[in-house]
Amino acid sequence: MEGQPSPATFELSELQTGGQYKLTTARVLDHEVETSCNVLVICSDGGPDPLTTRVNISVSILDLNDNTAQFQQSRYQLNVPENKPPDFVVHQV
């Protein structure tokens, strides 16, 4: 929806070991909708004069064959008239 913020794509959560984090998907990703995302991670040390660092993570969304072709028939038999010029359309499906 135009003007509406998109739902969060990723979540950052701390691992049990402490001091380490994992980045996970927060929603289903679809290559047909978006081919890549950029995630900006900002970390601060929480001190009285906090030190901050940033990293930009570029994520490519791979395209899986999740939209397979569907035909109305399982078999097609076609006849092509002779002497037709190049680019003659034999059949459309």
pTM: 0.58
- Contact by Cβ (8 Å): 39, 29: no
Residue 34 domain flag: yes
Residue 3 domain flag: no
Q: pLDDT tens, 50-72?
A: 999 999 999 999 988 777 778 88
Residue 81 domain flag: no
Q: Concatenate the DSSP letters of all residues of 22-78 into one string.
A: EEEESS---TTT-SEEEEEEEEE--SSS--EEEEEEEEEPPPP--S----S-S----
Strands 21-25 and 36-44: unpaired
Count structural domains, the chain: 1
Domain of 30 in residue numbering reads as 10-60
Token pair recorded at residue 36: 């890549």
Residue 2 domain flag: no
The reported pLDDT for the residue numbered 56 is 92
Residue 93 domain flag: no
Residue 55 domain flag: yes
Cα 71 to Cα 91: distance, rounded to the nearest angstrom: 13
Residue 40 domain flag: yes
